[in-house]
Amino acid sequence: MTSLHNAEYLKGVEDARIMVEQMHSDRTDWKVSKTTKHVTVSSKKSQVFHGYMHRIECVLDVSLEKAFEYFLPSPVGLRLEWDKTLQLHECIAHLEEEAYLYRAVTHSQIMGLIASREFVYILRVIRRPEEGCIGTFCQSIDHPKYPVQNTPVRGVNYPCGTFFQVQPDKKILVTNYYHVDLGGKLPQSVIDSSIPQIMASTMEHYYKKLQTIKK
């Protein structure tokens, strides 16, 4: 991997940040697609592929750093302690301060209806202490050491991100934007109806994990 690749990856994730921040500020056309006790999932048509993008929200009574730490994978955080949808989530490179390349492999979902998926992507963390906010931004990359193979199916992270925002009551609003093409041969309608359920369940596991730790 060359410095040119790195520059391309960093430029790509900066473009992703801009798009995700636009998503976050645009409250129009989102429709609630799934609710649970602690989580609300809203969805709207993607402008960059044939599926939907999803906004997943929950409020946590923990510190900003704890909310952030338990959402992110190693070496930044502790996600693998609770997220059982993942077979593997490895950091394959640290580009610069708080910019990382990852490879993730999921377990199959919905009783095997959605097979295991692989993702290779860049993630960048941006801290805004003056706003009481941490943002993470990511998108898929083409990496020379991890070419697309027949199995597992390669999914594509279009610009995705998560905001961890301190609220007036000191609780943390977590807003995750899931903007992913799972690929494969399943009808898009099946994927579109399944994703809100999967994301709500995942965020509930995250919420419950954080109830077991100190602020």
pLDDT reading at 86 higher than 90? yes
For the stretch 152-193, pLDDT in tens is: 999 999 999 999 999 999 999 999 999 999 988 888 888 889
Residue 4 pLDDT: 66
More confident of the two residues 70 and 114 = 70
Q: Which residues pair with 114 in a beta bridge?
A: 109
The pLDDT > 70 percentage for the chain reads 97
Place of tokens 């709207």: 44
The CATH homologous superfamily to which domain 3-211 belongs is START domain (3.30.530.20)
Q: What 8-state DSSP symbol labels residue 95?
A: E
Instruction: Decide if 203 contacts 176 (C-beta within 8 A).
Output: yes
Residue 215 pLDDT: 59
Place of tokens 């990382």: 100
For the stretch 56-78, pLDDT in tens is: 999 999 999 999 999 999 998 99
Segment 42-46 shows an average pLDDT of 96
Instruction: Decide if 160 contacts 50 (C-beta within 8 A).
Output: no
pLDDT reading at 2 higher than 60? no
Residue 144 pLDDT: 93
Residue 112 pLDDT: 80
Question: What is the three-class DSSP state of 193?
Answer: helix
Quote the CA–CA distance of 80 and 63 in Å, as a whole number. 19
The gap between the terminal CA atoms of the chain, to the nearest Å, is 40
> How do the domains of the chain map onto residue ranges?
3-211
Residues 6+ apart with CB under 8 A from 168: none
